[in-house]
Structure 1
Amino acid sequence: MSQTLEAQQRVPDAMAGLRLDQAAAELFADFSRERLKGWIKAGALTVDGTPARPRDKVYGGERLQLQAELEDDARFEPEAIPLDVVFEDDEVLVIDKPAGLVVHPAAGNPDGTLLNALLHHCPALAAVPRAGIVHRLDKDTSGLMVVAKTLMAQTSLVEQLQARSVSREYDAVSVGVMTAGGTLDAPIGRHPRDRKRQAVNASGKPAVTHYRVVERFRAHTHVRCRLETGRTHQIRVHLAHLRYPLVGDPVYGGRLKLPRGGGEALKALLREFPRQALHARKLAFVHPGSGETLTFRAPLPDDILLLLDYLRDDVETLR
């Protein structure tokens, strides 16, 4: 079974000088660069109506048109993994992802992922690229994600993400006491020495995070972050760059810091906190079919609630 995919994008001036396959990978983010390269070679992805080569340069202003047949993706097996479904209709699915669940299969996680769970929950998603996944959360970040159930819905949601019109808010617990909130506009790219990490990097992609203080503790802060962009590890990288890394972050958290004079129970919890304290609390987007703006909220999970309770008790104990 296959579906005909039709989509088009205009190359922005900022992409001038990129290879066609690089620009296509940015503009048609649902598909891998290798898949797009194959479509370019087959003439299914054209530039101003003319076939081109993957290595050809773009100059800005060109119209990229994609017309391709999408076969059902049979590489991944459906798995009966429970999903916390917040909302579902014929076009979109909103879930509250638990910490510990990988979103997409990869070399280290070939199965047991959200994608496998989605294929079991809705077998028709096999005909949608990446089973409808249009954005990701890190394995150990909990909270809201939207999934497209049709190609039309997927195209709409990707366009909204590219236009920065999808509203995404996160709750985080950081190490250190913030004096005030603010906005960090700092590009993010690969770390120059550790390719598995991201870093604030002048040659990286634009990244903007707005953050504000929800509650201060003796040595930590409950922070609320709103994303304008969606770079890999964005909140984790940006807060670490500000010297307020997330509690429990194994990659960007640095050396463990325990509050002086704190109780042993709090210290034990901080030592053993199993993940970065980050939760996608709010998600808003325009419904691809109705045009209505939908807003969803997910309550804090038990582990972060427990951490906040311990931090409040620590403040009260030492008053």
Structure 2
Amino acid sequence: MTSAQSSNSNVPENDFILLEDSEDADNHNSAATATRLSLQFQLDESYLGQRIDQVAAIVWSDFSRERLKQWMKDGHLLVNGNVVKPKYKCEGNENLTLDVELEAQTTAQPEDIPLNIVYEDDDIMVINKPVGMVVHPGAGNPSGTLVNALLYHYPKSAELARAGLVHRIDKDTSGLLVVAKNLEAQFSLSKQLAKKSVYRIYDLICYGRIIAGGTIDEPIKRHPVDRIKMAILPGGRDAVTHYNVKERFQHFTRVQAQLETGRTHQIRVHFSYINFPLVGDPVYVSRVKVPSGASELLASTLRGFKRQALHAFKLGLVHPKTGEDMMFEAPWPEDFVNLLEVLRTENKAY
């Protein structure tokens, strides 16, 4: 398998897995670079009676409501060509125009960090993120992140919310991410995620023998006591994971999981919930589980695998400008390959 593959073939609609909802995000006309932004949006009756600042925050969800309100006051965001107050009530047929020069959206600093770029054009980048790289700067990780690397590789990403990122994967999960290089692409990709038309397949290795594929449909929210963890709890956000068994061993299973939603730790939480936790998961597995009678090689390999055995293997999307169906694949990282090789020799099924 090559490190990445892009396909022009049509991806069946029912194979797509989308993530969040940003209604009509592709109903924009823009003739601007990432620096000078000029957008239009035609409202319909579904917005009747809503405050214009609330509507603007729905239409252009990558900007905060407060920022959009300020642009209204400054005359950068017009309704039918006129300045209006944020409390203006929509009639449902207005034309919104946003004409503004963007400023830096992040205080993160660019860093010359190598990126494994699977695909890049004027609108998007697809990146194969390595194990151990944090996506966003945060407490304890102010530098060395994917955002720092993006700011160096493409300085204009500083003008975009989250440097153009529209989704993320955990620090110790490897694999594919798509990044927008301009606001129009970011709107389009956000809409695809919201409408569950982004196709995302993960490879994982879990403890236990899973007999057949299935679907896990359980809500996820922050754990009430351990704030590092997520948990299956009433009142959580809808979370759906489809999965298929790819390879069985005596005490382990290799699975492919397809995300219908994109919640924090979704695959890790769902598989722990059905009692097939991921090998190496430092958060949802209390200790390394070594099967009785395991060889020294298998035992040492399991103890030495100190991150969740999870890889974002396949990513499908519609190109935000050309409308082309695109599919990308990233090979398993070396530690994942080594773990599988050991399981195939030391824990093979009877």
1:285 counterpart = 2:317: yes
1:36 counterpart = 2:65: yes
Give the paired residue count: 304
1:240 counterpart = 2:269: no
CA distance in 2, matches of 1:64, 1:253: 53
| TM-score between both structures, scaled by the size of structure 2 | 0.77
Contact 2:42 2:95 (C-alpha < 8 Å) held by counterparts: yes
1:73 counterpart = 2:102: no
Q: Does the C-alpha gap of structure 1 residues 281 and 65 become closer, same or farther in structure 2, counting only changes over 3 Å?
A: farther
Shift in Å, 1:174: 0.6
Shift in Å, 1:4: 2.8
CA distance in 2, matches of 1:24, 1:197: 34
1:301 counterpart = 2:333: yes
Aligned to 1:56: none
Show CA shifts across 1:247-279 (max 9, x none).
111111233211111101111111121211000
Q: Does the C-alpha gap of structure 1 residues 26 and 111 become closer, same or farther in structure 2, counting only changes over 3 Å?
A: farther
Aligned to 1:174: 206
Q: Does the C-alpha gap of structure 1 residues 80 and 251 become closer, same or farther in structure 2, counting only changes over 3 Å?
A: same
Aligned to 1:215: 247
1:4 counterpart = 2:33: no
Stretch moving more, 39-48 or 166-175? 39-48
Please give the secondary structure, in 2, of the residue aligned with 1:117. Answer: helix
Q: Which has the higher contact order (CA 8 A, sep 6+)?
A: 2
Aligned to 1:162: 194
Unaligned runs of 5+ in 1: 14-18, 54-60
Equivalent runs, 1:1-319 vs 2, <5 Å = 2-4=35-37, 6=39, 30-31=62-63, 35-40=64-69, 43=72, 51-52=85-86, 67=98, 69-73=101-105, 75-316=107-348
Show CA shifts across 1:126-160 (max 9, x none).
22222111110100000011111111111100000
CA distance in 1, matches of 2:244, 2:149: 34
Q: Does the C-alpha gap of structure 1 residues 275 and 30 become closer, same or farther in structure 2, counting only changes over 3 Å?
A: farther
Percent identity, aligned pairs only, is: 50
Letter paired with 2:293: G
CA distance in 2, matches of 1:307, 1:22: 50
| TM-score between both structures, scaled by the size of structure 1 | 0.84
Q: CA RMSD in A?
A: 3.2
Letter paired with 1:175: Y
Unaligned runs of 5+ in 2: 1-33
Q: Does the C-alpha gap of structure 1 residues 279 and 128 become closer, same or farther in structure 2, counting only changes over 3 Å?
A: same
Please give the secondary structure, in 2, of the residue aligned with 1:174. Answer: strand
CA distance in 1, matches of 2:270, 2:52: 30
Shift in Å, 1:206: 1.1
CA distance in 1, matches of 2:328, 2:276: 27
Show CA shifts across 1:163-185 (max 9, x none).
00000000001111111110111
Question: Greater Rg, structure 1 or structure 2?
Answer: 2
Q: Does the C-alpha gap of structure 1 residues 108 and 311 become closer, same or farther in structure 2, counting only changes over 3 Å?
A: same
Please give the secondary structure, in 2, of the residue aligned with 1:86. Answer: strand
Letter paired with 2:172: D
Q: Does the C-alpha gap of structure 1 residues 216 and 64 become closer, same or farther in structure 2, counting only changes over 3 Å?
A: farther
Shift in Å, 1:3: 3.2
CA distance in 2, matches of 1:45, 1:158: 21
Contact 2:56 2:68 (C-alpha < 8 Å) held by counterparts: no
Aligned to 2:18: none
Contact 2:129 2:177 (C-alpha < 8 Å) held by counterparts: yes
Letter paired with 2:212: A
CA distance in 1, matches of 2:173, 2:108: 23
Please give the secondary structure, in 2, of the residue aligned with 1:276. Answer: coil
CA distance in 2, matches of 1:252, 1:223: 18
Contact 1:30 1:134 (C-alpha < 8 Å) held by counterparts: no
Contact 1:3 1:71 (C-alpha < 8 Å) held by counterparts: no
